Structure 1
Amino acid sequence: MIDGAKRVENIEEYYFSTKLKEVRELAVSGKPIINMGIGSPDLQPPTKVIDAIQQSFNDDSAHKYQSYQGLPELRSAISKFYKNKFKVALNPKNEILPLMGSKEGIMHISMAFLNEGDKVLIPNPGYPTYTSVTKLVGAATVFYNLDESHHWQPNFDELEQQDLSKVKIMWINYPHMPTGTKALKETFEKLIAFGKKHQILIVNDNPYSFILNEKPLSILQVDGAKDIALELNSLSKTFNMAGWRVGMVLGNSNYINQILKVKSNMDSGMFYGIQKGAIEALHLSDDWFKNQNKEYTERRNLVWKLADKLQCTYDKNATGLFVWAKIPKGKTSEEITDEILYNNDIFIAPGTVFGSQGEGYIRFSLCVSKEIIKVAIGRFE
C-alpha cells in the first residue's frame, strides 16, 4: 500500500460524513430516523431559477468551458445584490470572484495566503472546515474561544494577550454557525481595527445573512474594510441551492487576484446554466426572503417546543438555519444526542462537532418539514 501524504495524517473524516453513515445504516435496518442534524435546505429553489437553467441548455455557450471569473452578468448581478442588500459598492470587474460554493473559497484563500508555519485564528465553536483546511495547507491552528457570557462575540482583550506575530488569517462567521448569533457593526469595526493593527487578513464567512434575519450586515460595510478583509457568501442557504455549488468571495482586487491564481489552476469554470440560474436568483425581490422566513419561523417555533421537551434553553433572538440549545447538566452533548438517536430515532448534532466550546449544547436544523418536526415532538410525549 502507498502511504498517504503527511498533510492528511492529522485530518479526520468530516464528522457528518462518518455519523451519517451510521444514521443511514439505522434507516436501512428499518428505523424511522428523523435527521435534524444537517443544514441542507429541503425547500425548492425559486421557480425562476429552475426555468433559467432549463432555458440555458440550448445557448451557444452552454456546454463549453467557462471563464474562471464567471460570466460578466453574474459578477454584475452579485455587485447589484451587495449594493441593494448591504449598501456595499463592489467593482464587478475585479472585486468579485464567483466560486463553486464558499467551502471551495476557504481552501482557495488558505492556499493563496498561507505558508507552512503561518498561524490562523479559528473560532471555537465554529465551522470545522476552517480547521481541516488550515491543517491541509501546513499552517497552525490557533483557536479563539467564543462563549455565551460574551454573546458569542470575540473577546478582544484575550486576543491581544496572544502572540499574534505569525498569525496571517482570522476566520469569522457572522451570523454565526452554529449559535445563530447576529452580526454586530461594532464587532466588525473592532475586527477591522484589529486586523490592521496586526496585519491579519480578516475573512467573514457570511452564508446565513438572510435566514430569519431582518438586518443583514456585511463586514465590507465598515470603512476601510477592503484594506484588510474579505467576505465569502453563498446562494446555498439563501436560495435553497446547496447542491448547485454557487458561492463568491468579495474584496480588494489585489486579494481577489491572488485567489484567482489558485482557482484558475483547480477548475475549468462554473457550468454555464448554473450561472444563469444564479443570476436569476440574485435579481429576486424581497418577497422571496419574506415568504421563506415565514416558513422557517413556523419551523423554529416547533423546534423550540422540541427543545423544551428536552429541557433545553435557547436564544430566541438568534438567526440562521439552526437552533443552538443548551442541554441540562449531567450528560455530555454526544451522550445526549446518541441517546436521542438510539431511543427516539432522531439525529441531532452534538455541539462538540464545532469545537470544545460546543460542549453542553446541541444543534437542531430547520431543514425539516413542520409535519416531521411534529412527529419528532410526539416521540417525547
Structure 2
Amino acid sequence: MVSFSKRVAQVEEYYFSKKLKEVNQLIAEGKPIINMGIGSPDLPPHLTVVEALYKTASLPKSHGYQNYQGIPALRKAFAEFYFKFYQASLLPQTEILPLIGSKEGIMHVSMTFLNEGDEVLIPDPGYPTYTSVAKLLGASPIYYSLKAENKWYPDFKELEKQDLSKVKIMWVNYPHMPTGAKADLHLFQKLIAFGKKYNIIIAHDNPYSFILEDNPKSIFQIEGSKEIALELNSLSKTSNMAGWRIGMLAGKAEWIQAITKVKSNMDSGMFLGIQEGAIAALALGGDWYQQLNKTYSERRKLVWDLVEKLGMSCEKDTAGMFVWAKLPEGQSSDQFVDSLLYTYHIFVTPGHVFGKAGEGYVRFSLCVHEKAIQEAINRI
C-alpha cells in the first residue's frame, strides 16, 4: 500500500474547504443560506480592468508562456502604485516580484529561507496558511499572542523573553485579519527594530491596506525596512480580483532574486491578459477606493447591528473587510456558528480557525450585499 508523505499528516484540510461542503449541501437541500463567512469580494473589478483583459485575450500572440518575473510594465505599475499611495520607493527591475496571488508568496518566501528545524513566529489569531506552510516545510511554528487590550499588536517584551535563536521569519499582517486592527507606522518601526536586533525577517502581509482605511500604509515607509523586511500585497481585495490570482512581493534585490529562483521552478508565469488587467487596476485613482469603502462602510453598519442583536460586541475603529465579534462569556465559537447556521441559515466563521486566541470570537465578512445582511437581521 502506497503511503502518504509525513508532511500530509502535519496539516489539516483548510477549514473553508471542509465547512463549505456542509454549507453547499444545505444549499442543495433548498436552505436559504446567507454566507457571511468568506472574504471573497462580491463586487466586480473596474470596467477598464475587464476591458484590458478582453482586449489582450483577443490578440493571437497573447497566449504563450510569460516571463517568470512578470512583464516589465506590470512591475513598473506596482512601483508607481507604491510611490503614489504609500510614498515608498521600489525598483521595478529588482525589488518587485509579481505573484499568482499573494498566498503562493507565503510558500515561496518560506521555501527560500526555511530549513527543517527552523522556527517561524506566527500571530495568534492570524492567517492559518502561515502555520500550514511552516509545517509542510518541516519548520516549527511559534505562536505569539495578540490581545485586544494591546490593540492586537505584538507584545515585544514577551517576545524577547523567548529563545529566538532559531527563528528565521516573523509573519505580521496589518490591517490585521481577522481582528481588523489598523496598521500603524510606530508599530512598523518597532517591528523593523526587532527584526534587525534578532536577525529575523519581518514578512508583512498587506492585502487589506485600502479597505475601510483612509490612509493606507506599507512597512516600506519605515527607513531601513528593506534591510530586514519583505511585503506581500494583492489585488484580490483592493481591486475585487480575488479569482484572478494576482499579487506581488517586494523586498531587497538579493532576496527577490533568491525567491525568484524558487518560484521559477513552480510555475510558468501569469497569463498576459491578467497582467494587463492588473496594470489597469493599479492605475485607478483614489475615487475607486472611496467608492469601494462607501459600500463596505454601509455594510459594516448593518453587520454591527446584526452583532448587537446576536448579543455580541465588537470594536469599531477597525479596517479590512471583516467584523470581529466577541461572544458572551462561556460560549463556544463552534457551537455558536453551528447554531446560527442550522437555526437561521446564516454562516459565519468561528474564531478558533485563526488560532487558540480566536476562541470566543466569530468573524463576519462584509462581502455580502446589503439586502442579504438586512435579511439576516430580520431572521434574528
TM-score (norm 2): 0.99
Q: 1:306 is matched with which residue?
A: 306
Q: Which amino acid aligns with 2:157?
A: D
Letter in 2 for 1:30: G
- Structure 1 segments, 4+ long, off by >6 Å, are none
Report the more deviating stretch, 324-333 or 291-300. 324-333
Q: Distance in 2 between matches of 1:152 and 1:60?
A: 50
For residue 376 of structure 2, give the secondary structure of its aligned residue in structure 1: helix
Aligned to 2:34: 34
Aligned-partner Cα distance in 1 for 2:57–2:243: 18
TM-superposed CA distance for 1:350, in Å, is: 0.6
Match of 1:82 in 2: 82
Find the counterpart in structure 2 of residue 231 from structure 1: 231
Post-superposition shift, 1:59?
Answer: 3.3
SS at match of 2:123: strand
Q: Deviations over 1:61-116 (max 9, x none)?
A: 41010000001000000000000000000000000000000000000000000001
Look up the equivalent residue of 1:112 and give its one-letter code. Answer: T
| Map of 2:22 onto structure 1 | 22
**Alignment match, 2:62:** 62
Cα distance, 1:2 vs structure 2: 1.4
Residue in structure 1 matched with residue 152 of structure 2 by the alignment: 152
Matches within 5 A, 1:1-381: 1-59=1-59, 61-380=61-380
CA distance in 1: counterparts of 2:334 and 2:304, whole angstroms: 20
d(CA) in 2 for partners of 1:247, 1:8? 27
Cα deviation, residue 60, structure 1 = 5.3
**2:27 is aligned with what amino acid?**
A
Equivalent position SS for 1:115:
coil
* Alpha-carbon distance, 1:8 to partner: 1.2
Cα deviation per residue 1:129-148 (whole Å; 9 max; x = unaligned)?
A: 00000000110110000010
Residues 61, 272 of structure 1: 8 Å contact kept: no
Is this contact kept in 2: 1:181–1:319, CA < 8 A?
yes
Task: Tell me how far apart the structure 2 counterparts of residues 73 and 12 of structure 1 sit (CA, whole Å).
Answer: 39
Alignment RMSD (CA, Å): 0.7
d(CA) in 2 for partners of 1:9, 1:111? 19
Secondary structure at 1:188 match in 2: helix
User: Given the superposition, is the C-alpha separation of residues 30 and 60 from structure 1 closer, same or farther in structure 2, using an over 3 Å criterion?
Assistant: closer
Task: Summarize deviations over 1:271-291 as a string: whole Å, max 9, x none.
Answer: 000000000000011110011
SS of corresponding position for 1:323: strand
CA distance in 2, matches of 1:73, 1:10: 40
Identical aligned residues as a percent: 60
CA contact (8 A) 1:43 1:240 kept: yes
- Letter of the structure 1 residue corresponding to residue 240 of structure 2: N
In 2, Cα distance between the equivalents of 1:215 and 1:4?
47
Secondary structure of the structure 2 residue equivalent to 1:74? helix
d(CA) in 2 for partners of 1:42 and 1:257?
35
* Distance in 1, Cα, partners of 2:22 & 2:146: 30
> 1:242 deviation in Å?
0.2
Structure 1 segments unaligned to the other structure (5+ residues): none
Distance in 2, Cα, partners of 1:162 & 1:112: 25
Report the Cα distance in structure 2 between the residues aligned to 1:334 and 1:225, rounded to whole angstroms.
Answer: 40
Q: Partners in 1 of 2:57 and 2:152 — Cα distance?
A: 45
In the aligned structure 1, how far is the partner of 2:238 from the partner of 2:282?
Answer: 10
Q: Is the 8 A contact 1:69 1:269 kept in 2?
A: yes
Distance 1:95 1:331 in 2: 47
Q: Give the deviation of 1:311 after TM superposition.
A: 1.2
Give the whole-Å Cα distance in 2 for the aligned partners of 1:267 and 1:150.
Answer: 41
Q: Secondary structure at the match of 1:85?
A: helix
TM-score, normalised on structure 1? Answer: 0.99
Matched position secondary structure for 1:73: helix
Bigger mean CA offset, 219-228 vs 53-62: 53-62
Deviation readout 1:147-190 (Å, 9 max, x if unpaired)? 10111000000000000000000000000000000011111001
Comparing 25-34 with 100-109, greater Cα deviation is found at 25-34
Q: What letter corresponds to residue 119 of structure 2 in structure 1?
A: K
- In 2: Cα distance, 1:252 partner to 1:2 partner: 43
Alpha-carbon distance between aligned partners in 1 of 2:135 and 2:90, rounded to the nearest angstrom: 32
What displacement does 1:237 show? 0.3
Aligned residues: 380
Query: Per-residue deviation at 1:335?
Result: 1.0
What is the distance in 2 between the residues matched to 1:9 and 1:315?
A: 37
Q: 2:61 & 2:5 partners in 1: Cα distance?
A: 39
Find the aligned partners of 1:61 and 1:227 in 2 and give their Cα distance: 40
C-alpha separation in 2, matches of 1:86 and 1:330: 42
